[in-house]
Amino acid sequence: MSWQVHLPALVVSVPLLGAFISIAMVKPRLRNLWFATILVATTILAFLMWRYVAINGTLVYVMGGERWNLTLPSGMTLPIRIIMEVDAFGAFMALAGSIATLASGLFSVRFLDRVNDGNKFVALFFLLFAGMLGLEVTGDFFNFFVFLEIASVASFGLIAFWRDRPEAIEASFKYAVLSTFVALIFLIGVGILYGVYGTLNMAAIAKNMQVGFLEKLALVLFIVSLAMKSGAVPLHMWEPDAYGQAPAGVSCFLVVVGQASLYGMFRIAFSVYGQAFEGNVLAWVIIVLGLLSMFIGVIMAVIQKEAKRLMAYHCISQTGYMLMGIGLGLLALSSSQAMSEYGFTAMKGGIFHIINNAMYKGLLFLTAGSLFYATGTTNLNKLGGLARKMPYTTFMFAVAAAAIAGLPPFNGFVSKLLIYESSFVVHPFLAVVAMVTSILTLASFVKVFQSGFLGPSRDDLNNVREVPLSMVVGMMVLCVMIISLSMMPNWVLANLIEPAARDLVNQASYIQAVMGSGL
């Protein structure tokens, strides 16, 4: 047994260890070193886990035991113990999430010099990291709830990190009330499923799933809570506040944490309910959520004057693309003809969009952060003519804006094209909304670029200088990722996206990896 089977436990425990030790770091330099080391180490672990899963198939890890099951004297077998299950989709999410986290961490290193309690920042950052990765590797409903709460509690702290700013506290409070409430709703859903099936393991529940009233009720509770956590439209109010007020590195990180909740939603929809859920209601609910998020998000973004708030609204509209892509896949789940006709393409588009969004949205938040670092404001009316003074930031912003708007050579174009193609087959209206959203996205980023970076230089910004090296490096990580995703879309689709989409669709293999053929 190679050490690599322990990877699912390691990706969670290494950042957790990092969190608790970083509080005790006395010297800032030592702490920065520790911060960078643990970040890089966790990212490497996530990469190794992805590779292991790509080669050996779904990885099941049982905490503190060799086997998951317990056979009672009466002959009944029960799945007990804490089980982690990583298939290609989970591993892919963990990889995308940790690359974006690495970038936001490197970006934040210099930011820590400006604050007194950097240790606490590092501790919360790693807690959030552990929570996010935990969401993506767990195979058990209750642990999903626990990791959801670990991530939430850490993010309340990080959003309110500028505690001298009333707005930051206000944003954090809003998020805290909403998020605690929906997490409890999620727990009630878990309780209902436990009451019916007597187990908490996702695969075991999926195996016995027979959709009745209670299961539908639980599903509604799950979808409501995870849609809120990922910032889909009817419950999106917290998102612009929280992303707009958090430190920039944290906003970049929160994007991927939101995607981890999205992962949970898809995992529950495909792997736990899957084909047992008859009818198209669930798929259409997800698609309509996607449409609303896309359109309302972008409309609200166009009228914003504050760069980070604008980007946060775009985040909502990008979430809409993922919801729509994967919702279309869910629509096609019961018929293999529909699946080959449009479903699989849509899933590939949706999943590709997840990694694309993590990269370019993260990069946009980081450029907004460096604008703030250099000039002290992100209000577009107070910026202008920064292209000459901050050439690197300008370049990165241009790349990220082109990618998010879906201009042809960039990765955003590839994933959006897949979504347009497949949604057109289902109904042209879906494709039209997606395209209009894309055009409005372009419009609003042209506005930001024009008013922030172009134009004559302003007198009050004469002393502005480019941001320090480590911040540029942080942005560079994401920029290189965007460019390589754009240069090699075929390789990425074949090696990263397709295995993930295939594993997500294949409910039987998810169940079998844990339950075996027995029981």
Positions that interact with other proteins (CB under 8 A): 142, 145-146, 149, 152-153, 156-157, 160, 163, 166-167, 169-174, 176-177, 180-181, 184, 187-188, 190-191, 194-195, 200, 240-241, 244-245, 303-304
- Cα(60)–Cα(328) distance, integer angstroms: 29
274 dihedral zone (left: phi>0; alpha: psi -120 to 50; beta): left
Write down the least CB distance from residue 164 to other proteins, Å.
8
Q: Is 162 exposed, middle or buried (0-12, 13-18, 19+ CB in 10 A)?
A: middle
Write down the least CB distance from residue 352 to other proteins, Å.
32
- Give whichever of 241 and 503 is closer to other proteins, judged by the CB atom: 241
CA 117 to chain centre: 27
Nearest C-alpha neighbor of 51 from the set 9, 7, 13: 7
SS3 71: strand
Asked if residue 32 lies in contact with residue 153, where contact means CB atoms within 8 angstroms, the answer is no
Write down the least CB distance from residue 212 to other proteins, Å.
17
Write down the least CB distance from residue 8 to other proteins, Å.
20
- Give whichever of 166 and 516 is closer to other proteins, judged by the CB atom: 166
- Give whichever of 141 and 410 is closer to other proteins, judged by the CB atom: 141
- Cα(104)–Cα(399) distance, integer angstroms: 17
SS3 87: coil
Query: DSSP secondary-structure letter at 247?
Result: -
- Give whichever of 63 and 494 is closer to other proteins, judged by the CB atom: 63
Total Cβ atoms within 10 A of residue 82: 19
Nearest C-alpha neighbor of 240 from the set 165, 175, 320: 175
Write down the least CB distance from residue 19 to other proteins, Å.
14
User: What tokens does 143 get?
Assistant: 């642990």
CA atoms within 13 A on the CB side of 405: 19
- Give whichever of 181 and 284 is closer to other proteins, judged by the CB atom: 181
Asked if residue 298 lies in contact with residue 441, where contact means CB atoms within 8 angstroms, the answer is yes
Angle at which helices 7-22 and 118-137 pack, to 10 degrees? Answer: 160
- Give whichever of 36 and 237 is closer to other proteins, judged by the CB atom: 237
Task: Give 14's contacts (C-beta < 8 A, 6+ positions apart).
Answer: 38, 41, 42, 45
Write down the least CB distance from residue 3 to other proteins, Å.
29
Write down the least CB distance from residue 244 to other proteins, Å.
8
H or E segment to which residue 77 belongs: strand 77-79
- Give whichever of 57 and 191 is closer to other proteins, judged by the CB atom: 191
Query: DSSP secondary-structure letter at 392?
Result: H
Q: How many residues in the chain? A: 519
User: What tokens does 412 get?
Assistant: 């955003």
Write down the least CB distance from residue 330 to other proteins, Å.
29
- Cα(187)–Cα(145) distance, integer angstroms: 7
- Give whichever of 175 and 410 is closer to other proteins, judged by the CB atom: 175
- Give whichever of 20 and 429 is closer to other proteins, judged by the CB atom: 20
Alpha helices in 23-140 (DSSP H): 28-56, 88-112, 118-137
Write down the least CB distance from residue 183 to other proteins, Å.
8
Task: Give 189's contacts (C-beta < 8 A, 6+ positions apart).
Answer: 217, 218, 219, 221, 222, 225
Q: Residue 461 carries which side chain, given as an amino acid letter?
A: L
Write down the least CB distance from residue 320 to other proteins, Å.
20
Write down the least CB distance from residue 134 to other proteins, Å.
14
Total Cβ atoms within 10 A of residue 212: 9
- Give whichever of 157 and 349 is closer to other proteins, judged by the CB atom: 157
- Give whichever of 181 and 491 is closer to other proteins, judged by the CB atom: 181
Write down the least CB distance from residue 305 to other proteins, Å.
9
- Kindly tell me the sign of the dihedral angle through the C-alpha atoms of 489, 492, 498, 504: negative
Question: b/e string for 333-363 if b means 16 or more Cβ within 10 A?
Answer: bbeeebbeebbbbbbbbbbbbbbbbbbbbbb
- Give whichever of 113 and 167 is closer to other proteins, judged by the CB atom: 167
User: What tokens does 80 get?
Assistant: 């007990």
- Give whichever of 163 and 388 is closer to other proteins, judged by the CB atom: 163
Write down the least CB distance from residue 145 to other proteins, Å.
8
